Amino acid sequence: MEESTPGTVSQTRGAASSRRQALALMLGASPWLSAPLAGGEAAPLVRLAISESLVADVNMNDARAAMLVWIKQMTVDLNVVVEFDQRVFVSTGEIVQRARRGQLDAVALNVIEYRQLVDVLDSKLVIAEAGPQAEERYILLAKRNRGIQQLSHLRGRRLCAWKAPRMCVATAWLSTILDEGRLSPSEQFFGSVTVDPKASRVMLPVFFGQADACLLTKRSFDTMCELNPQIAKELTVIASSPPMVVIFYIFHKNYQNANREKFVTAISGLRKSLAGRQLATLFQFEDFTRRDAGCLASALGVLEMADRARKRQGAGNRKG
């Protein structure tokens, strides 16, 4: 991921879009960008880190501005202070280091990053999406008239895969179903695999016969079908993953400050404010709700099965 130079929306290049202009007006030229927010409090409410793995296919300056606007709104509405990195989005490596040093209290990350920090995070409370689309389900699609009815029929064929934050467990899931079918690993099984950050550019090549199958989320497929019902008629599901929670907020296990409940309230009620709705639109999510680590069992199970499959494949290669 390319890193943009931090700055306010007014500093972005070219003619600003209406969305960026709105963000600029909401954000303003505020000194609160540059440091932990001040105000006489003895300590910040929460030291927050947001993984850059959650940002894809959106303008980084827009993403920063939207997140900053929401954090500012939260400080006003709840009378709290949030300490965060001026870059807003930080790398996985930095999150791991800061969490292990006890230098952050809350973090927004994906389930793969969670696995690296499970021993220092409070699994009793996970703040994840709510509603009917709270969990991601990956699907493998092919065109109905191409004679592809099961996974084994895709040997040597062309696969298009969606590249998005919500797809973080998709590769692992694909490796598990190939392993269960006693098929070769992905890089050997498919004739070619291409990735694209636009869901439409993943589905349409299959629709028009330029690719044989595509891998994406059911959510993105359903959205595309609403726009073009013909896609639903022409494409069929070859395989489907279990539902999984893959992106969420979680606290450090040592952060038991009573004020953390205010932060939970802010996340859960994010869409109640204009700033929160702007953020939700940009990142395409619904409401958040409090859950526990049990909601992560499905995704963690897929990752563990993928690990075992890689070990078996490695052992087989060594024997050969």
pLDDT for residue 287: 79
Domain presence at residue 255: yes
Domain presence at residue 207: yes
Interior CA angle at 252 toward 251 and 254, to 5°? 125
Cα–Cα separations (whole angstroms), residue 262 to 46, 77, 259, 268, 308: 10, 10, 5, 10, 40
Same domain, 233 and 249: no
Please name which of 84, 19, 76, 11 lies closest in space to residue 46, comparing C-alpha atoms: 84
pLDDT for residue 32: 34
Domain that holds residue 203: 138-242
What is the distance between the alpha carbons of residues 108 and 250, in angstroms, rounded to a whole number? 7
CATH number, domain at 188?
3.40.190.10
Sheet strand arrangement including 106-110: 82-90, 46-51, 106-110, 247-252, 121-129, 288-291
Domain presence at residue 316: no
Same domain, 143 and 272: no
Domain presence at residue 191: yes
Beta bridge pairs of residue 138 = 217
What is the distance between the alpha carbons of residues 172 and 305, in angstroms, rounded to a whole number? 8
Same domain, 227 and 78: no
Residue 132 has pLDDT above 70, yes or no: no
Domain presence at residue 310: no
Same domain, 255 and 114: yes
Same domain, 221 and 169: yes
Same domain, 167 and 147: yes
Looking at the structure of the chain, the number of domains it has is 2
CB 122 within 8 A of CB 100: no
Percentage of the chain exceeding pLDDT 70:
83
pLDDT band at 139 (very low <50, low <70, confident <90, very high): very high
